[in-house]
Amino acid sequence: MEIKAWSDMSDEELIKNIEERYGGFTLSEFNGRRAYVEAVKRKLIDTLLEKTIIITKRSRYGFYPSRSNEELLDLARDRNPGFGIREFIKKENALYGELKKRNLFEELLKEGTILRGKKKNGCYSNLSDDKLMLHVSNQYSDKTITHIARSDGVLYREIHDRDILSQLFENGVLVDNASPFKDLNYTLEKAVKAMEENGWEELPSHGKLKKFGYLPIGNAVQRYHGGLLVFREKLIEYLGKIPETDLDRLESLLDDYVGGSE
């Protein structure tokens, strides 16, 4: 099984993978993930809501109640192998509630999918490389390997023992500790692209960037580039230095942006 980057998937593949990895998440829980960003760009959020893959709020008629017993068990097995009980409840509270209601949770404990005690070395050994990478994608998408080392030392060791770290980077599951958004020009380029895609006259606030699926840009502006007001000034300067070949497509945007800043 190939772990594709979200941007490389067709619309159908994107919807299917979101259902497998994030089905039953509320919109606020889904917000900010790379899959959310891609779904926003393709205008698929309404489709995800209509299909109740992503929900607006918890409901007894929502995603999990409509699934069969075997579908619920498969979701738990795919998303959470090797989790302890407390960890599972914390990350999958709604799924846990539905499993308990149907008396299915004990089955996961008996088969060792969910652990009664602490994780031990080897608890991921029964997973294929593909299943292990899918688990990392489900639980740690957009995180660094350092984050995994701090959160789950057993998983960290399993990743290194199997030598699959490079694949997780190549497939866009994990991000390098050295974020590309630390580079000012990279962030400026992404900001201009976001403005073009949404018809914004100026780069909006962190909250609005998060809402529209551009949280990495908002975080970079705050963490690395002096905050929104300073970054907007850098953005005006950057737009003025774009080569003539690229200037035509941004001319109206630049005029509106500079005019709105006066």
Q: What is the 3-state secondary structure (H, E, C) of 122-143?
A: CCCCCCCHHHHHHHHHHHHCCC
CA dihedral 74, 75, 78, 81 (to 10 degrees): -100
Q: Encode the chain (262 residues) as per-residue pLDDT tens digits.
A: 456 677 788 999 999 989 888 888 888 888 877 788 889 889 999 999 988 899 887 665 567 888 899 989 988 887 777 778 888 888 888 889 999 999 999 999 888 888 887 667 667 887 888 888 888 887 787 788 888 888 888 888 889 888 888 888 877 678 776 677 888 888 999 999 899 888 888 999 988 888 887 888 888 898 888 889 999 999 988 887 655 445 455 555 555 555 555 4
Contacts of 193 (CB under 8 A, 6+ apart): none
Return d(Cα 112, Cα 115) in angstroms, integer: 6
114 forms bridges with which residues in the sheet? 83
Domain ranges of the chain: 122-176, 180-261
pTM: 0.46
Planar angle of CA 262, 221, 247, nearest 5 degrees:
55
Sign (positive or negative) of CA dihedral 128, 106, 151, 14: positive
Inter-residue contact 110 to 73 (CB < 8 Å): no
Q: Which two tokens stand for residue 53?
A: 């893959």
**What is the model's pLDDT at position 88?**
85
Tell which residue, 224, 164, 167, has the closest CA to residue 190.
Answer: 224
pLDDT of residue 103: 94
Buried/exposed code over 35-65 (b: 16+ C-beta within 10 A; e: otherwise): bbbbbbbbebbebbeeebbbbeeeeeebbbe
